[in-house]
Amino acid sequence: MASALINVPPKAKRGEIIAIKTLISHQMETGFRHSETGVPIPRDIVTHFVASYNGEEIFSAQLFPAIAANPFITFYTIATVSGTIEFKWTGDNGFVATEQAKIIVE
């Protein structure tokens, strides 16, 4: 199973801009490489990443083979209310991974 690493500050002031760092373990096989016997290795990458704050989408990204293995994405958001930030990665061959982080907004 794929494992994800998330870095969300546990506490924030209302209206504060917080940095969110995400990393999903995935080989991101480009589909442009060949095995030692010359057989093309099929593409197997994470194609989409979505972050939702209490169910509302706040950030999404479409990824291409030019993203390095174990995709690492940092982005920002405004801490509005306490709740849960959910992260979802989807990709080739039915790849799905989810992770969530709690945040307390004062």
Partner 1 sequence: MHQPQRNSNRLATRRDTLRGALAAGAALPILSLHRATATPADMRAAIANVIGDVKLNVGRVKIEIPPLVENGNTVPCTVSVESPMTTEDYVKAIHVFNEKNPQPNVISARLGPRTGRASIATRIRLTDSQTVVAIGEMADGSFWSDSVSVIITLGACLENLI
Q: Interface with partner 1 by CB under 8 A: which residues?
A: 17-18, 30, 32-36, 41, 53, 56, 58-69, 71-78, 80
Shortest Cβ 1–partner 1 spacing (Å): 22
**Cα–Cα distance measured from residue 51 to residue 49, given in angstroms and rounded to the nearest whole number:** 7
11 three-class SS: strand
Q: Hey, what are 45's tokens?
A: 């990458």
Residue closer to partner 1 (CB basis): 9 or 76: 76
Min CB(102)–partner 1 separation in Å:
18
Report phi then psi at 67, rounded to 5: -85, 135
Q: Which is nearer to partner 1, 76 or 102 (CB)?
A: 76
Question: Which tokens go with 75?
Answer: 């982005």
